[in-house]
Each structure stands twice: as C-alpha cells, then as structure tokens.
Structure 1
Amino acid sequence: MKAQRQNIDYSHVIPPLLFNKLQYIYHTAIKPVEQAYKYKELRQHEVSDAEIASKPMVLFLGPWSVGKSTMINYLLGLHDTPQELYTGAEPTTSEYTVIMHGEKVRTIEGIVMAADSSRSFSPLEKFGQGFLEKLIGIEMPHKLLERVTLVDTPGIIENRKQQERGYPYNEVCQWFIDRADLIFLVFDPTKLDVGLELEMLFRQMKGRESQIRIILNKADNLATQDLMRVYGALFWSMAPLINVTEPPRVYVSSFWPREYATDTIQDLFMKEEISLLEDLNQVIENQLENKIAFVRQHAIRVRVHALLVDRYLQTYYEKLGWFADPDEVFHDIAADPDRFYIFKSVLAKANVSKFDLPEPEVYKDFFGVNPVSGFKRLESQCGWTGGCLLQKIEKAIGEELPDLLSSLTERKETPKAEEKPQGEEKPKNRWRRQ
C-alpha cells in the first residue's frame, strides 16, 4: 500500500550573510576574469545574483511518455486536481515546464519569466522567441516547492531532426544541466533505445555524473524475470555513454499513485521509492553546500578558459615574426593546438582532468569571433590596489570558497551535542508515503 507524505517546516533559506559572502567572492574574483576573457561567449553562462540565491533545481529528462510528468504529479500530489500536468501515451510535453512555489496557483508565460531579472531564468531570453514560446512556469503553494524547483522537459524523440524543434535544443538542455542539482533520467521498459539525442545529452552531462539518477519507471508492468532482463539491457545501453568508474544510481519502481501490480516485487519497489525520496531530501538539505560547490566549479572552468586564452596568446606572439602574416600564424595555431602543446601545458598548470578541458574545435570557433589580438596576457592583468586577476580567482578556488564551505559544515555540526537518546525511533523520511 502506498504511503502519504508528511508535512514538515521548510522555512529554511540561504542565510543573508552567506549569500553576501558568496556574492562578494563571485563579483570580485570570478566575474572580472569572465569579462576579461569573454567566457560568456564560450559557454553562454554567467552566474547572476538570482541564480546564487535560487532554490535547488531538479531536472527530469528522458524519452517521451516514460512517466516524467506523472512522476512530478506523484511527488506533488497533483493527481485528480486542476493543477495536474497533462500526461498520455503519446508525446504530450512539448514545453519546458518549470514548477515553482507561489502563494497561489498561476501560469507564467516564458516571455514573462525571461523578462523578470529577479528570477534565475532571465538568461533564457538569449535562446530566442521560438524557445520562450515553449517555456512555461507554474506557481503553486506546496511545501516541497518552498525548497526546490522542478523542471519537466520535452521527451527525447530520436527520429526527429533537432532543427524541427524551432530552437537550439542542445544549448537549452545544457543551460538546465549546468544549473541542475539533481538530474532524473527517466526510462520505461519499452524505451531503452539509445539514439543521437540521448548520446548528445550524455556528452553534455560530462562532469555532472554525480548529479545523475537513472529511473527505470513503470517497473510493475513486468514480471520479475522480465524486469531483470530489462535492468541488464538498460545498463548495457548506458555503459558506453557514462565514462565513470562508479555508475549512477538506478532506481527501479513505478512512480504513480496507483497500487503496484499484483505478483510483482512490491517490497523492492517501495524501498526503491523511499530511497529516491531520501535522495531528493538530501539535495534539499545540502542546498548551501551545493551552491558553494557550483560557484567553485564555475570558477575552475573560468580559470581554465583564461589560462587557455593566455597560452594561445603567448604562442601567437612567440611565432609572430616581423614579416609573418598574423592571420596565417594564428590559423596554424588554432588548426593544430596540440603541435604547440597548448592544452597539455594548461593541463599541467591547472591541475584538472583532461576530461574537463573544452574541445580544441570550440576555441577555433571562439577565436573566429573574438580575435586573439583583442586579449591581454594574464601577467599584465594586475592593478596596484586590486591585485592580479589570476591570483584572485585562484585564491577564491583554493581558499575563500573552501573556507566558506568549512564554516557552513561547522555550523551544521554544532547542534549534534543535543542529540536524542539512542533508544528513540529514527526520524521517518519527510516525503515517505505511509
């Protein structure tokens, strides 16, 4: 029998002091490097104040009609209510639906969301009117939404050309993936095929493997033996796409309000569901830590970009002679950066994995729009009072952000002195249905 959610106080928000410190570090140490080396034009990503203060985001991805919208309805208890997200056997969700907390139920058009700078979704305006017509916001009063924002996405349809969507699908997905605290990749037993769109999504999630959770939904539609075969087939399909030693957690259950089918492993499904809800709780509890880690990861990418531009610039000036054609010199460097050890030298200096470096082709396009002569060497980016850009961002990555994280951890550990006696019952999961 499926259980009922328990009400709980979710009034906790980001403390103003922590927000101000995080905001100060970003604006003084990270953003100046972004601007000096035009990072926004490389990744189309800069961190706004609204994004720093935003709630955790849970992103639902997967093929069409696998139960993404139904799962959201189930988590929020929207079944048989006027707010229920529409579901069906055919591809039903063609929009990006952002479900947020509000004092009353209302729908917000994408163009309004993008025009509101107080929201973390204002940068989506850059993807054009075609996309904004496919973006919908839904506000409603709900305890879970006080602490988290849910995003439902259009289903992956492998036989459709991406240009038929009318907007840059991969770029939009990348925007949401970069900001997601948890990514639910949902499948059902009948849709395990891997095509070009899904392969592209996994490439875009490179470096975000710890945020991915794979959901094998509608599991009670299968007999136990068939479910074991499907589970194996799912791993076989996903293995080539996930380049990590430890695979993502796979949850096997049926996320809807109906009772599990008879003659199925109902105990396992219930345990899997509770485990997933605890995973969601953990993301909510770790909101502040995740936000600091997000800003630090962004800072590392900005620093790597600045070092790469600096190395390209250094190589350019070393190879540029009195009578050489500047365009030809840089064309040779951009065409084969490995010959000049550009990426290898940065890899050694930045202390990052080679998998975290952008592809050389990305910089070919970047410098095609931004001539290398328009940048200054990092060693010259220093001021008498402001210090050097490189040292400031390295201090933020190596000292300031870790110290902020440590102070938060110490504050969380302080109440442990008042723990309850061991004989008391362990607190129940906040969202467990009883």
Structure 2
Amino acid sequence: MKGTVSICCFISLLLLQATAEQEEEEDFISTLRDRSHIDETLRLATDEKAADYAAAIQKLRKIYHTSIKPMEQAYKYNELRQHEISDGEITSKPMVLFLGPWSVGKSSMINYLLGLNDSPYQLYTGAEPTTSEFTVIMHGEKIRSVEGIVMAADSSRSFSPLEKFGQNFLEKLIGIEMPHKLLERVTFVDTPGIIENRKQQERGYPFNDVCQWFIDRADLIFVVFDPTKLDVGLELEMLFRQLKGRESQIRIILNKADNLATQDLMRVYGALFWSLAPLINVTEPPRVYVSSFWPYDYAPDTSRELFKREEISLLEDLNQVIENRMENKIAFIRQHGIRVRIHGLLVDRYVQTFKEKMSFFSDPELVFKEIVDDPDKFYIFKSILAKTNVSKFDLPNRDAYRDFFGINPIANFKPLSTQCSYMGGCLLDKIEKAITTELPALLSSINSGKQPGLSSCEATGCGEKPKNRYRKN
C-alpha cells in the first residue's frame, strides 16, 4: 500500500513538474521581442529624396529606350535570352527573395521584419508545408490581395513576363499590398518550400524556371535553413545550380538557432558548410547569418547576444541593398546593354560571313548551316574579340546561336553598317555611347548627390550626322 502511494506521489510530482515547465515555456513564447532595432537599423523614420530618385529613374528609362532597346529589337535579343526589360522592371523596387526547404521559417521571417504577427494580414505559418504559392509582398495605399492574373496583366508592374509560365502558375501567384515604410523601399517574395520527394510536374508548372526568373531579378537572395533539417536533395541541388553567378547576392540564414545548445549549433554550422561546399564552388562563400528570426524572445540559456548581433548585421546588409538600389539598377541596365551590344556584333558578323561565302551557285541553307555548325572555322567569335573591346568572358554560348537562327532566318537581319538614320544616329554608336559615357555619368551624378540633367537631345544624337566606324569608305 505504501509502495502504491509512493508511486502515485512520484507520478503526481512528474505531472506537476511537466505542467510547470509547459507553463514556463508558454510564458517564454508569449514574450515578444523588442523590434525597435529594426526601424533604427533600416532607418525607416528618415525621409528620402524622392525627387532626385525619380529624376534618375526618368533619365535611366530615357537612355534605355533611346540607346539600348532599338538594337535589342533590331536583332531580336529577347529571343536569345528571353529577358525583355519593361518600364515596370526599371522603376521597380529592390527585390528580396526567400528560398529554402519547407518549414524553415521563411514566412515567419517576413512576418517578423514587417511586424505582421498576430495581425489579420500575417503570412500563414506552421510546422507542415504551408506556403504553396509565390507570394509577392509589396507597397500599396491600402491592404489588399492581388491575384496573379491581375499582376501579370498590369503593365505598370514588373511581373507581366510571368504570363509565359501558363495559367496554372498564375493561379499559384499572389500579391499582397499594404502601407508599410519598409515596403516603400523594397519588395519581398516568399516562395514555396522545397520538398525533396515531390516531382516538378506534380506542382503543375515549371517550378525551376519560375525560380530562375525571380533569381535573375532579385537584388538579395536569402536561402533559409533549419538547423534540425540539413538534408540536401536533388531539388535543392538544382536550386544552387540556378544560383551560379549570383553568389554576391546570396545570404545563407541558419534560422531557429536558439533551438540548439551552443555546442550543437557549432556542429550544425560545420555540417551546413560541408553539405553546401560541392554546390557553392567559389573562393569566398556566401555570408551566413545565425539567429532566430521570429517575434518571440530567444530560448533561455542560448547565445542571445550573438543572435542579436547577427540580426542587426543582416538588417544592415538589407539596408545597404536598399540604399544602393539606384546604383544597382544602373549597373544592371549597363550589363544588359553590354550583352545586347555583343549580340548585335555577333549577328552582324554572321550576316557578313554569310554574304562573303555566298556565290551564284551556292545553296544558301548549306552555306549557313556550315557557318552555324562551326563558327570557329570562320572566326566569328574571334573576330569580335579582335576588333572590339569585348571580354571573352562575356561571350554567349555559341550553341545558342544555332537555335537562334533556327527560328530567325539570316535574311531577316541587316548589317550594322546599314542601321543608321540621319536624325536618330547609328544603333552601334548610340549603345556604345550609353555603355561608355551616359550610364557611367548617371552613376557618378548619383554618387555625388547631383540631380541628373534631362536634356532632350542627349543620348539621341539628334541633329548629328551618323558615324559608323564599321562602314566601308
């Protein structure tokens, strides 16, 4: 009898201890973290010089439309790269993309940064896979949701090219507008979590292609991991292959770090780098942030000061992208202009070689097939490197031109020497002037704080006699 009573007392004590621990844990979870450092670090209380920014954007649009887009259209660059720049993309805010496996805290992190927790507008979160859509959180005068089909149809936005992925994808695209100081400067994109045992066709749309579209346009890419789930599967490997060349924009986040003891966290940190090393083959790996990005207080007996410093460091990184958005946009347009210029020079060289090899008895299809199949035999690419200041690292894949000319007959293109007009100038001269003079000058005016001029004849060559150094005298 006494033994039974002792066992009952022991069980009661265990239940009381478990209840007390549960109540203590609930009290800990209900304790909200101070968010004042977010507004302070991101400088959300400061007003921006909107007039200077608008003038620079107007100037950038003018340079693009008058100096780069004409060659882009004349030589159908969009069919080579499938990347057409719209006004919405030029005027768009910096884009921060959240990628990673399911249930690692991507949506919770966005809720925390925007202060949406316990509000009707917070993104849905949970332990199971919850986000099945691509969610774009952007600024608006009032809180409302925008269907994907509406976003794609609105030419003033930068999402109209997403129509090419089909209606099934547009049903998985949603926009959320809300008045928020941070969203006046940046746009967040939350993505569906990577589930390794799910095939791409089960999603109903080309998931990897859609991710690539957002990756190409993102100014900052947060790849989020849970320290308790570090498995790297095929879909995650594919994602990191898509991130090649964008290493400077990637930030790796080891989220929910307060779930582990400090010693275990160090082991996980090493295991993460060991898993990702084959996927990120660069000299300097991306920056890794270790913290817990949600609104509740850190777990007791964890590295609270380290997590706080890591969070502030991430916010400073985000703020740097916001402050440099105009410089990044100018650099992006200039890089695009360099690619368009190289494409125009290559097409011009193909056209010239075709005309030189053609004779009265030649078969046009056989002649051009020989040129496209073996461009090195005719020094197509080497001649571009010899005559122009083109880097060999900027040259596109030569196999891409076999497909390009497969749908665009060579007869559809004119030589660069004929692409001139008395009032408009030459296509090549205008794009070279934009790359070497106008865009660097605009960048210098931004850095010096001077408002860029908007003269009507600048960048158009109006009233000047066209010159072309490739025209035969």
Q: Which of 60, 64, 86 is the matching residue for 1:26?
A: 64
For residues 339-397 of structure 1, the C-alpha deviation after alignment (integer angstroms, 9 at most, x for no partner) is 54444444566656555443333333222221223222223322233222122112111
Task: Specify the code of the residue in structure 2 equivalent to 1:29.
Answer: S
Q: Which of 286, 291, 298 is the matching residue for 2:329?
A: 291
SS in 1 for 2:278: helix
Whose radius of gyration is greater, 1 or 2? 2
Q: Which of 334, 338, 345 is the matching residue for 1:300?
A: 338
CA distance in 1, matches of 2:354, 2:236: 38
For residues 15-414 of structure 1, what are the structure 2 equivalents within 5 Å? 15-346=53-384, 351=389, 354-411=392-449
CA distance in 1, matches of 2:433, 2:175: 38
Deviation at 1:139, TM superposition (A): 0.8
CA distance in 2, matches of 1:204, 1:303: 25
What residue is the counterpart of 1:427 in the other structure? Answer: none
Task: Check whether the contact 1:207–1:356 (CA below 8 A) recurs between aligned residues.
Answer: no
CA distance in 1, matches of 2:272, 2:381: 35
What residue is the counterpart of 2:3 in the other structure? Answer: none
For residues 298-318 of structure 1, the C-alpha deviation after alignment (integer angstroms, 9 at most, x for no partner) is 112222222332333344344
Task: Specify the code of the residue in structure 2 equivalent to 1:158.
Answer: E
SS in 2 for 1:274: helix
CA distance in 1, matches of 2:253, 2:390: 31
What residue is the counterpart of 1:426 in the other structure? Answer: none
- Judging changes above 3 Å, is the alpha-carbon distance between structure 1 residues 375 and 4 closer, same or farther for their aligned structure 2 residues? same
Greater shift in the superposed pair: 285-294 or 233-242: 233-242
Aligned CA RMSD, in angstroms, stands at: 2.4
* Count of residue pairs brought into register by the alignment: 413
Q: TM-score, normalised by structure 2?
A: 0.80
Q: Which of 27, 35, 40 is the matching residue for 1:4?
A: 35
Task: Specify the code of the residue in structure 1 equivalent to 2:35.
Answer: Q
CA distance in 2, matches of 1:334, 1:229: 53
**Identity fraction in percent:** 76
SS in 2 for 1:15: helix
Task: Check whether the contact 2:200–2:207 (CA below 8 A) recurs between aligned residues.
Answer: yes
- Moved beyond 6 Å, runs of 4+: none
Task: Specify the code of the residue in structure 1 equivalent to 2:304.
Answer: Q
What residue is the counterpart of 1:418 in the other structure? Answer: none
What residue is the counterpart of 1:416 in the other structure? Answer: none
Greater shift in the superposed pair: 301-310 or 235-244: 235-244
SS in 1 for 2:189: strand
Structure 2: where are the runs of 5+ without partners?
Answer: 1-31, 452-473
CA distance in 2, matches of 1:83, 1:350: 54
SS in 1 for 2:253: strand
For residues 179-220 of structure 1, the C-alpha deviation after alignment (integer angstroms, 9 at most, x for no partner) is 211111112224434444334433433333222111121222
Task: Specify the code of the residue in structure 1 equivalent to 2:250.
Answer: I
Greater shift in the superposed pair: 180-189 or 380-389: 380-389
SS in 2 for 1:177: helix
Task: Specify the code of the residue in structure 2 equivalent to 1:359.
Answer: N
- Judging changes above 3 Å, is the alpha-carbon distance between structure 1 residues 375 and 285 closer, same or farther for their aligned structure 2 residues? same
Deviation at 1:10, TM superposition (A): 4.7
Deviation at 1:152, TM superposition (A): 0.6
- Judging changes above 3 Å, is the alpha-carbon distance between structure 1 residues 93 and 39 closer, same or farther for their aligned structure 2 residues? same
Task: Check whether the contact 1:10–1:143 (CA below 8 A) recurs between aligned residues.
Answer: no
What residue is the counterpart of 1:419 in the other structure? Answer: none
Task: Specify the code of the residue in structure 2 equivalent to 1:241.
Answer: L
Task: Specify the code of the residue in structure 2 equivalent to 1:79.
Answer: N
- Judging changes above 3 Å, is the alpha-carbon distance between structure 1 residues 363 and 239 closer, same or farther for their aligned structure 2 residues? farther
Deviation at 1:144, TM superposition (A): 0.7
CA distance in 2, matches of 1:355, 1:258: 48
Deviation at 1:109, TM superposition (A): 0.4
For residues 3-56 of structure 1, the C-alpha deviation after alignment (integer angstroms, 9 at most, x for no partner) is 323351455436332222111100011101110111111222222222222211
